[in-house]
Protein backbone atom coordinates (compact mmCIF):
# COMPACT_ATOMS: atom_id res chain seq x y z
CA UNK A 1 0.00 0.00 0.00
CA UNK A 2 2.78 2.38 1.01
CA UNK A 3 4.75 1.54 -2.09
CA UNK A 4 1.64 1.95 -4.25
CA UNK A 5 0.97 5.49 -2.95
CA UNK A 6 4.62 6.33 -3.50
CA UNK A 7 4.30 5.28 -7.13
CA UNK A 8 1.13 7.38 -7.47
CA UNK A 9 2.91 10.37 -5.95
CA UNK A 10 5.89 9.93 -8.24
CA UNK A 11 3.55 9.64 -11.23
CA UNK A 12 1.76 12.85 -10.20
CA UNK A 13 5.07 14.69 -9.79
CA UNK A 14 6.23 13.41 -13.17
CA UNK A 15 2.96 14.55 -14.80
CA UNK A 16 3.31 18.02 -13.22
CA UNK A 17 6.93 18.29 -14.37
CA UNK A 18 6.17 17.28 -17.91
CA UNK A 19 3.09 19.42 -18.55
CA UNK A 20 3.52 20.65 -22.11
CA UNK A 21 1.68 23.94 -22.40
CA UNK A 22 2.14 24.32 -26.15
CA UNK A 23 0.74 20.84 -26.74
CA UNK A 24 -2.18 21.53 -24.40
CA UNK A 25 -3.09 24.75 -26.23
CA UNK A 26 -2.73 23.00 -29.61
CA UNK A 27 -5.06 20.22 -28.43
CA UNK A 28 -7.64 22.76 -27.20
CA UNK A 29 -7.42 24.64 -30.54
CA UNK A 30 -8.18 21.36 -32.32
CA UNK A 31 -11.08 20.69 -29.97
CA UNK A 32 -12.74 24.04 -30.75
CA UNK A 33 -12.10 23.85 -34.53
CA UNK A 34 -15.02 25.44 -36.40
CA UNK A 35 -16.19 27.24 -33.23
CA UNK A 36 -13.26 29.68 -32.84
CA UNK A 37 -15.38 32.82 -33.23
CA UNK A 38 -18.32 31.72 -31.10
CA UNK A 39 -18.68 33.35 -27.67
CA UNK A 40 -16.63 31.41 -25.09
CA UNK A 41 -19.73 30.54 -23.02
CA UNK A 42 -21.15 28.60 -26.01
CA UNK A 43 -17.96 26.61 -26.50
CA UNK A 44 -16.74 26.03 -22.92
CA UNK A 45 -18.81 24.94 -19.95
CA UNK A 46 -17.85 27.16 -17.01
CA UNK A 47 -17.46 30.74 -18.26
CA UNK A 48 -18.53 33.34 -15.70
CA UNK A 49 -16.46 36.43 -16.56
CA UNK A 50 -15.37 36.15 -20.20
CA UNK A 51 -18.84 35.97 -21.69
CA UNK A 52 -18.85 37.24 -25.27
CA UNK A 53 -15.10 36.75 -25.75
CA UNK A 54 -14.51 34.61 -28.89
CA UNK A 55 -13.39 31.09 -27.88
CA UNK A 56 -10.11 31.38 -29.78
CA UNK A 57 -9.30 34.67 -28.04
CA UNK A 58 -9.96 33.15 -24.63
CA UNK A 59 -7.15 30.65 -25.29
CA UNK A 60 -4.83 33.53 -26.24
CA UNK A 61 -5.74 35.43 -23.05
CA UNK A 62 -5.03 32.26 -21.03
CA UNK A 63 -1.57 31.74 -22.54
CA UNK A 64 -0.35 35.36 -22.68
CA UNK A 65 -2.62 37.48 -20.48
CA UNK A 66 -2.80 35.00 -17.61
CA UNK A 67 -0.04 32.35 -17.63
CA UNK A 68 2.81 34.48 -19.00
CA UNK A 69 1.92 37.60 -17.03
CA UNK A 70 2.01 35.60 -13.77
CA UNK A 71 5.08 33.55 -14.77
CA UNK A 72 3.21 30.25 -14.45
CA UNK A 73 1.79 27.57 -16.74
CA UNK A 74 -1.86 26.57 -17.10
CA UNK A 75 -1.56 24.06 -14.24
CA UNK A 76 -1.20 26.85 -11.66
CA UNK A 77 -4.93 27.43 -12.12
CA UNK A 78 -6.17 24.31 -13.92
CA UNK A 79 -6.32 20.56 -13.70
CA UNK A 80 -5.63 19.89 -17.40
CA UNK A 81 -7.80 16.76 -17.20
CA UNK A 82 -10.78 19.09 -16.67
CA UNK A 83 -10.31 22.70 -17.75
CA UNK A 84 -13.79 23.66 -16.53
CA UNK A 85 -13.13 22.60 -12.93
CA UNK A 86 -12.81 25.29 -10.22
CA UNK A 87 -10.84 22.99 -7.88
CA UNK A 88 -7.77 25.27 -7.80
CA UNK A 89 -7.89 28.43 -5.68
CA UNK A 90 -5.76 30.55 -8.08
CA UNK A 91 -8.43 30.08 -10.77
CA UNK A 92 -11.05 31.49 -8.43
CA UNK A 93 -8.71 34.33 -7.40
CA UNK A 94 -8.16 35.11 -11.09
CA UNK A 95 -11.91 35.77 -11.54
CA UNK A 96 -11.82 38.27 -8.64
CA UNK A 97 -8.67 39.83 -10.13
CA UNK A 98 -10.52 40.27 -13.40
CA UNK A 99 -13.30 42.18 -11.59
CA UNK A 100 -10.71 44.25 -9.72
CA UNK A 101 -8.92 45.16 -12.98
CA UNK A 102 -12.23 46.28 -14.50
CA UNK A 103 -12.92 48.52 -11.47
CA UNK A 104 -9.40 50.00 -11.69
CA UNK A 105 -9.90 50.73 -15.39
CA UNK A 106 -13.18 52.51 -14.66
CA UNK A 107 -11.41 54.65 -12.05
CA UNK A 108 -8.59 55.43 -14.49
CA UNK A 109 -11.10 56.62 -17.06
CA UNK A 110 -12.34 59.05 -14.40
CA UNK A 111 -8.96 60.81 -14.28
CA UNK A 112 -9.65 63.61 -16.75
CA UNK A 113 -6.01 64.68 -17.09
CA UNK A 114 -5.09 61.21 -18.46
CA UNK A 115 -7.71 61.29 -21.21
CA UNK A 116 -5.32 62.29 -24.03
CA UNK A 117 -2.90 59.36 -23.60
CA UNK A 118 -2.36 57.03 -26.56
CA UNK A 119 -2.77 54.16 -26.24
CA UNK A 120 -5.46 54.80 -23.61
CA UNK A 121 -4.29 54.15 -20.04
CA UNK A 122 -5.13 50.56 -19.09
CA UNK A 123 -4.42 48.25 -16.18
CA UNK A 124 -4.16 44.55 -16.92
CA UNK A 125 -2.66 41.53 -15.15
CA UNK A 126 0.85 42.33 -16.41
CA UNK A 127 0.73 45.87 -14.97
CA UNK A 128 1.08 44.45 -11.46
CA UNK A 129 2.30 40.89 -11.89
CA UNK A 130 5.13 41.38 -14.41
CA UNK A 131 5.87 37.66 -14.60
CA UNK A 132 5.33 36.77 -10.93
CA UNK A 133 2.44 35.51 -8.80
CA UNK A 134 3.36 38.06 -6.11
CA UNK A 135 3.63 41.65 -7.37
CA UNK A 136 6.70 43.49 -6.05
CA UNK A 137 6.48 46.04 -3.26
CA UNK A 138 10.04 47.27 -3.68
CA UNK A 139 12.63 47.52 -6.43
CA UNK A 140 15.50 45.04 -6.11
C1 LIG B 1 -4.21 32.72 -13.40
C2 LIG B 1 -5.12 31.60 -13.58
C3 LIG B 1 -5.24 30.95 -14.94
C4 LIG B 1 -4.23 30.49 -15.75
C5 LIG B 1 -2.73 30.56 -15.53
C6 LIG B 1 -4.88 29.86 -16.87
N7 LIG B 1 -6.23 29.94 -16.75
FE8 LIG B 1 -7.63 29.13 -17.98
N9 LIG B 1 -9.12 29.95 -16.89
C10 LIG B 1 -8.94 30.73 -15.77
C11 LIG B 1 -10.22 31.25 -15.34
C12 LIG B 1 -10.48 32.18 -14.18
C13 LIG B 1 -11.19 30.73 -16.24
C14 LIG B 1 -12.69 30.98 -16.21
C15 LIG B 1 -13.01 32.31 -16.89
C16 LIG B 1 -14.45 32.75 -16.69
O17 LIG B 1 -15.09 32.36 -15.70
O18 LIG B 1 -14.94 33.51 -17.53
C19 LIG B 1 -10.46 29.89 -17.19
C20 LIG B 1 -11.06 29.17 -18.21
C21 LIG B 1 -10.38 28.35 -19.09
C22 LIG B 1 -11.00 27.48 -20.06
C23 LIG B 1 -12.51 27.24 -20.25
C24 LIG B 1 -12.88 26.00 -19.45
C25 LIG B 1 -14.39 25.71 -19.44
O26 LIG B 1 -14.79 24.66 -19.99
O27 LIG B 1 -15.14 26.51 -18.89
C28 LIG B 1 -10.01 26.86 -20.76
C29 LIG B 1 -10.16 25.86 -21.89
C30 LIG B 1 -8.76 27.35 -20.23
N31 LIG B 1 -9.02 28.25 -19.20
C32 LIG B 1 -7.52 26.99 -20.69
C33 LIG B 1 -6.31 27.47 -20.17
C34 LIG B 1 -5.02 27.17 -20.74
C35 LIG B 1 -4.78 26.28 -21.95
C36 LIG B 1 -4.09 27.79 -19.97
C37 LIG B 1 -2.58 27.83 -20.17
C38 LIG B 1 -2.14 28.29 -21.48
C39 LIG B 1 -4.81 28.50 -18.92
N40 LIG B 1 -6.15 28.29 -19.08
C41 LIG B 1 -4.21 29.26 -17.93
C42 LIG B 1 -7.75 30.98 -15.13
C43 LIG B 1 -6.50 30.63 -15.59
C1 LIG C 1 -3.47 46.26 -9.08
C2 LIG C 1 -2.54 45.15 -9.10
C3 LIG C 1 -3.03 43.81 -9.62
C4 LIG C 1 -3.63 43.54 -10.82
C5 LIG C 1 -4.05 44.51 -11.91
C6 LIG C 1 -3.81 42.11 -10.86
N7 LIG C 1 -3.33 41.54 -9.73
FE8 LIG C 1 -3.37 39.54 -9.24
N9 LIG C 1 -2.56 39.95 -7.44
C10 LIG C 1 -2.21 41.20 -6.98
C11 LIG C 1 -1.73 41.11 -5.62
C12 LIG C 1 -1.23 42.26 -4.75
C13 LIG C 1 -1.82 39.74 -5.27
C14 LIG C 1 -1.46 39.08 -3.92
C15 LIG C 1 -0.04 38.55 -3.99
C16 LIG C 1 0.34 37.91 -2.68
O17 LIG C 1 0.73 38.62 -1.78
O18 LIG C 1 0.23 36.67 -2.59
C19 LIG C 1 -2.34 39.05 -6.43
C20 LIG C 1 -2.54 37.69 -6.49
C21 LIG C 1 -3.02 37.00 -7.61
C22 LIG C 1 -3.18 35.57 -7.70
C23 LIG C 1 -2.84 34.56 -6.62
C24 LIG C 1 -1.39 34.14 -6.88
C25 LIG C 1 -1.04 32.87 -6.22
O26 LIG C 1 -0.42 32.91 -5.14
O27 LIG C 1 -1.38 31.83 -6.76
C28 LIG C 1 -3.67 35.29 -8.94
C29 LIG C 1 -4.01 33.92 -9.50
C30 LIG C 1 -3.81 36.55 -9.64
N31 LIG C 1 -3.40 37.56 -8.80
C32 LIG C 1 -4.23 36.68 -10.92
C33 LIG C 1 -4.41 37.89 -11.58
C34 LIG C 1 -4.97 38.02 -12.90
C35 LIG C 1 -5.38 36.86 -13.78
C36 LIG C 1 -5.02 39.34 -13.18
C37 LIG C 1 -5.59 40.03 -14.41
C38 LIG C 1 -6.99 39.73 -14.70
C39 LIG C 1 -4.49 40.05 -12.02
N40 LIG C 1 -4.12 39.14 -11.08
C41 LIG C 1 -4.38 41.44 -11.93
C42 LIG C 1 -2.27 42.39 -7.69
C43 LIG C 1 -2.84 42.55 -8.94
Residue ID of nearest Cα to ligand 1 atom 15: 47
Question: How many angstroms is it from 14 CA to the middle of ligand 1?
Answer: 22
Q: What percent of the chain has pLDDT over 70?
A: 88
What is the H or E stretch that residue 74 is in? none
pLDDT tens-place string over residues 27-72: 999 999 999 999 999 999 999 999 999 999 999 999 999 999 999 9
Question: How many angstroms is it from 82 CA to the middle of ligand 1?
Answer: 10
Distance, CA of 107 to chain centre = 23
Q: What was the pLDDT predicted at 48?
A: 98
Q: Kindly report the pTM of this predicted structure.
A: 0.92
Residue ID of nearest Cα to ligand 2 atom 17: 134
> Please, is 67 exposed, middle or buried when counting C-beta atoms within 10 Å of its C-beta (0-12, 13-18, 19+)?
buried
Number of domains in the chain: 1
pLDDT tens-place string over residues 10-25: 555 555 568 999 999 9
Give the domain CATH number at 112. Answer: 1.10.468.10
Residue 84 in any domain: the answer is yes
Report long-range pairs for 83-88 (Cβ below 8 Å, ≥24 apart): 83/28, 83/44, 84/44, 84/45, 84/46, 85/46, 86/46
Residue 9 in any domain: the answer is no
pLDDT tens-place string over residues 62-73: 999 999 999 999
Residue 140 in any domain: the answer is no
Radius of gyration of the chain (CA): 18
Domain span at 33: 19-129
Residue 1 in any domain: the answer is no
Residue 139 in any domain: the answer is no
Amino acid sequence: MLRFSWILLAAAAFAADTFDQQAAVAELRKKIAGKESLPAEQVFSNIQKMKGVPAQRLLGVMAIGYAKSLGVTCTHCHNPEDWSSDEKTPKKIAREMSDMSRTLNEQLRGIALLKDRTPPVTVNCTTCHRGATKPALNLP
